[in-house]
Chains A and B, each alone.
Chain A
């Protein structure tokens, strides 16, 4: 969304990677290439041939290497990639586009994006998405080789490669991002992509500020323009005025200081200025994530362990042992810290992969969510619970059930859980008999019934990502997706106060828990545990350490009186309110 204030062009998008960057635009996909209007077709075809041949050469080298190390069977995948590269149907389509005057890079991207129409398949099926990513990977190598050419070209022409480049593009591949890291790139501004896209997760890992979902920025930004990426507010400012530039320079300076400060607070307790203690735990989607963080003692507990990765690309339901070994290993890795495992909640694509539903039932708007699925395929939950319970003999594990809507759901869960427990007892297998059971409140019906639900469980977690989506009927990719909505804040308030009344602790495991403008309100609503993604742990801790619990309580009281989200946003835009 493009807005204008005084003299600045401000593009509003979504923060994908935190931080501020000030630099010059480097536009990745200039649509018009005046230099080669006359011989453009020939030039582009030459470039394409060069890039394809170079990719072939690289694949061949890789084939020999992999064959040597892993054997012929594994090297076969490279053979397949070569075949994908040689596929004449796709080449014919790319050539046709180049003939019509499009450059080679755009032609490839165009065709890859249209695979489903060229080859007529269901573009929404997981099968297609998986296969598409294989095809993409091959052609991205070609694009990469094309871009190498482009960089050389650009260097020789009017635009000089300098430091402090901010890449502006429609979208980028992971390869692009890794490659650019070497090229003095300090920020990204993209039309598309989302915070949870893989390319942006990489950007977060590299700590390069990025704002995405800007819709039209690639049309406006020209090479060499001044640009500011404000990865804290999700804004991008093109051709800023001198005063704006100055303001952001100061902000960036503070950012450097902040990063150094963050490292210092690693070992300090997580408490407010008035000594109110808060637990910050980690959300993880795959155990690989915790390897580096653990050496740094960043993680205190795992507040949300998503287990869907176990089902990814699986051809059958994972058995009890698969589950057990995963959980057992992670317990050993994190040494006696509590792990909260969320039982599996599969989307329909995964169900098709597992062979549990057939394509013709495909594309229900919501589909079979967790509990409904367990009812239909009890072994899905049984296997997982057996694995979890067996692992619970070796460390502290809590179990958390997603998408619970009412007490009937809970009855189903407890029936299966008790059966599994009984079974293990019969076999004399040890497990934690008092294992704590919790639910994620992420469906509006569960909020309404919260007073009944709290009586049946040991802890409550709020899953705001889905709760906001279902409550406000909006997908999370849209900018209208607003956590600071009176309905959401009232819901959270109800959940926390009802739970506290019966002595239950409440955690929150959505994006909200690490959102700087939400943290003070959540703290004021007396949330006990903030469960955030790994890169956000220190940042969240720092924000909490600078807040005063008593003041946040006042702020939350005031916010709960608000009648509209505009009113709430107005209060929160005043920075003194965030830093209370």
Chain B
């Protein structure tokens, strides 16, 4: 199990398009992905959960990844949120 904290730096937050890119990127993995915001936990592979979580710019999220391919998932997530790729998400 891996835990990682990420602060959302995209101006619009995790809006619909960004959430869509996120879910598309992670659904192919077997690991369970949980996103935690303010002690509230949601399923990271459920786009509706992410959209309705309402993640704004500056929001601190904790990701918990658990499964056989967790390291790959971690690098995918980090890649998505890295500053270089910021335009993506």
What separation, in Å, do the CA atoms of A127 and B53 have in the docked complex? 10
Helix, strand, loop or mixed for chain A's interface?
Answer: helix
Comparing A128-136, A172-180, A269-277, A435-443, the segment that makes contact with chain B is: A128-136
> Using a CB-CB cutoff of 8 Å, which residues 40-84 of chain B contact chain A?
40, 42-43, 45-49, 51-54
Contact pick for A115, options B16, B19, B47, B52, CB 8 Å: B52
What separation, in Å, do the CA atoms of A80 and B15 have in the docked complex? 11
> Using a CB-CB cutoff of 8 Å, which residues 80-95 of chain A contact chain B?
80, 83-84, 87-90
Binding site for A on B (CB under 8 A): 12, 16-17, 19-20, 23-24, 40, 42-43, 45-49, 51-54
Contact A76 B45 (CB under 8 A): no
User: For the complex, is A253 an interface residue (Cβ under 8 Å from B)?
Assistant: no
What separation, in Å, do the CA atoms of A89 and B23 have in the docked complex? 13
Scan A58-101; emit 1 where CB is below 8 A from any B CB, else 0: 00000000000000000011011001100111100000000000
Question: Which residue of B is nearest A130, CB measured?
Answer: B16
CB distance from A55 to the nearest CB of B (A): 16
Helix, strand, loop or mixed for chain B's interface?
Answer: helix
In the assembled complex, 16 residue pairs joining A and B whose CB atoms fall closer than 8 Å, in A order, are A76-B17, A77-B17, A80-B19, A80-B20, A80-B47, A83-B23, A84-B47, A87-B48, A119-B52, A119-B53, A120-B40, A125-B54, A127-B54, A131-B51, A135-B48, A315-B12
List chain B residues, Cβ under 8 A from A89.
Answer: 43, 46, 48-49
Contact pick for A88, options B12, B24, B46, B53, CB 8 Å: B46
Question: Which residue of B is nearest A92, CB measured?
Answer: B46
List chain A residues, Cβ under 8 A from B46.
Answer: 87-90
Binding site for B on A (CB under 8 A): 76-77, 79-80, 83-84, 87-90, 115, 119-121, 125, 127-128, 131, 134-135, 315
What separation, in Å, do the CA atoms of A51 and B38 have in the docked complex? 37
What separation, in Å, do the CA atoms of A197 and B17 have in the docked complex? 27
A131-B49 contact in complex given A83-B24, A89-B43, C-beta closer than 8 Å: no
A128-B43 contact in complex given A76-B20, A80-B20, C-beta closer than 8 Å: no
What separation, in Å, do the CA atoms of A279 and B11 have in the docked complex? 48
List chain B residues, Cβ under 8 A from A127.
Answer: 54
Contact A79 B24 (CB under 8 A): yes
Question: Which residue of B is nearest A127, CB measured?
Answer: B54
Point out which of B43, B51, B53 has the most chain A C-beta atoms below 10 A from its C-beta.
B51
List chain A residues, Cβ under 8 A from B45.
Answer: 88
Point out which of A76, A77, A83, A121 has the most chain B C-beta atoms below 10 A from its C-beta.
A83
Contact A119 B16 (CB under 8 A): no
Closest CB pairs A-B (n = 5): A80-B20, A119-B52, A89-B46, A83-B47, A87-B48
Contact B48 A90 (CB under 8 A): yes
Contact pick for A119, options B12, B17, B19, B49, CB 8 Å: B49
A83-B20 contact in complex given A89-B46, A119-B48, A135-B48, C-beta closer than 8 Å: yes
Additional pairs, 14, CB under 8 Å, beyond known A89-B48, A119-B48: A80-B16, A83-B23, A83-B24, A83-B47, A87-B46, A87-B48, A115-B48, A115-B52, A119-B42, A119-B52, A128-B54, A131-B16, A131-B52, A135-B48
Question: Which residue of B is nearest A125, CB measured?
Answer: B54
Point out which of B16, B19, B45 has the most chain A C-beta atoms below 10 A from its C-beta.
B16
Contact B24 A134 (CB under 8 A): no
List chain B residues, Cβ under 8 A from A76.
Answer: 17, 20
A134-B16 contact in complex given A83-B47, A84-B47, A89-B43, C-beta closer than 8 Å: yes
List chain B residues, Cβ under 8 A from A315.
Answer: 12
CB distance from B74 to the nearest CB of A (A): 22
What separation, in Å, do the CA atoms of A121 and B24 have in the docked complex? 23
What separation, in Å, do the CA atoms of A471 and B17 have in the docked complex? 44
CB distance from B83 to the nearest CB of A (A): 21
Point out which of A76, A90, A119, A315 has the most chain B C-beta atoms below 10 A from its C-beta.
A119
What separation, in Å, do the CA atoms of A120 and B38 have in the docked complex? 13
List chain A residues, Cβ under 8 A from B47.
Answer: 80, 83-84, 87
Question: Which residue of A is nearest B11, CB measured?
Answer: A315
What separation, in Å, do the CA atoms of A120 and B17 have in the docked complex? 21
What separation, in Å, do the CA atoms of A119 and B54 have in the docked complex? 11
What separation, in Å, do the CA atoms of A79 and B51 have in the docked complex? 15
Contact B49 A80 (CB under 8 A): no
List chain B residues, Cβ under 8 A from A131.
Answer: 16, 51-52
CB distance from A185 to the nearest CB of B (A): 32
